[in-house]
Amino acid sequence: MTALAALFVRDVRLAIRVGGGGGIGVLFFLIVVTLMPFAIGPDLALLGRIGPAILWLGALLASLLTLDRLLAMDQEDGSLDLMLTGRSPLELAVAAKALAHWLTTGLPLVIAAPLLGLFLNLDLGSSGAVALTLLAGTPALTFIGLIGAALSVTLRRGGLLLAVLVMPLTVPVLIFGVAASNAALVGPLPFGTPFTILCALTLISIVVGTFAAATALRHGME
């Protein structure tokens, strides 16, 4: 357990120090959301209606942007090799890394979402609902991304391939995330139904993601 805690603390530290790239995702999120009103025009009613979808798309793209930092840097400097000689199972080690990654890149998106909701003419309640769905859904994005990161880890500069690999797999999360946000805003569906499915998707991807990523790493090491 000490080993996993040490790994978690190290990854959080690396992300928040200079050059760690923890803040880049939030900046990207801010830019995507800010650009949307320029592209769509000053139609406040329209912006309010599609606001949750824009926030979700922005968060999805921002979380894809930072995925290549998840494992690639540890592969480049040989840390991943040494992790295989550790005594904690690789599944738990990658889970600890993904958790640290979510805490430093996913959680800031959730916190930023209500603020960015103001840009899209969302009232505070609606923004809160979107933030809640992001809180439930962004861990799924990280853990699905973990599979892609493990698959593309031995490729130099595999960041773009990683995004292409992962994006189709995130479609269900996006659908139910936006559905739950819209349900909170306009109905007619009760908020609970899509939100429960979103939580289920997150729990499934945490389990599947860690095992799939560990398997992919073991086979890809060579």
Partner 1 sequence: MRLLGTQLVCVRGGRQVFAGLDFDVGAGEALVVTGRNGAGKSSLLRMIAGFVRTAGGLLELRHGDPELTLPEQAHYLGHQDALKPSLSVAENLDFWARYLGAEAPGRDGLEAVGLGAVAALPAAYLSAGQRRRLSIARLVAVQRPLWLLDEPTSALDRAAQETLAGLMRAHLAGGGLIVAAAHGPIGLADTKELRLEEAP
Footprint of partner 1 on residues 16-45 (CB under 8 A)?
17-20
| Cβ proximity to partner 1, 7 vs 146, nearer residue | 7
91 binds partner 1 (CB under 8 A): no
Minimum CB separation of residue 92 from partner 1 in Å reads: 12
Nearer to partner 1, 164 or 221 (CB): 221
Write out the binding residues for partner 1, residues 148-167 only, by CB under 8 A: none
Residues ≥6 apart with Cβ < 8 Å to 92: 4, 210
Of the ranges 41-49, 70-78, 97-105, 157-165, which one interacts with partner 1 (CB under 8 A)?
70-78
Number of residues that bind partner 1 (CB under 8 A): 27
Per the listing, tokens 């990280």 go with: 142
The distance of closest approach from Cβ of residue 23 to partner 1 in the complex, given in angstroms and rounded to an integer, is 14
Least distance CB 204 / partner 1 (angstroms): 28
> Residue 152: which residues within 8 A CB-CB, separation 6 or more?
68, 72, 158, 161, 162, 165
Closest-CA residue to 69 (of 28, 20, 119, 29): 20
| Nearest residue to 137 via CA among 29, 50, 63, 30 | 63
Binding of residue 89 to partner 1 (CB under 8 A): no
Residues, the chain, total?
Answer: 222
Rounded Cα distance between 50 and 106, Å, is 22
Q: Which of 83, 141, 147, 162 binds partner 1 (CB under 8 A)?
A: 83
Nearer to partner 1, 18 or 39 (CB): 18
| Residue 28 to residue 64: CA distance in whole angstroms | 11
Query: Cβ closer to partner 1: 15 or 62?
Result: 15
Of 52-60, 71-79, 106-114, 119-127, the window that binds partner 1 (rule: CB under 8 A) is: 71-79
**From candidates 42, 45, 87, 188, binder to partner 1 by CB under 8 A:** 87
In the complex, which residues of this chain contact partner 1 (CB under 8 A)?
A: 2-3, 5-7, 9-10, 13-14, 17-20, 76-79, 81-88, 221-222
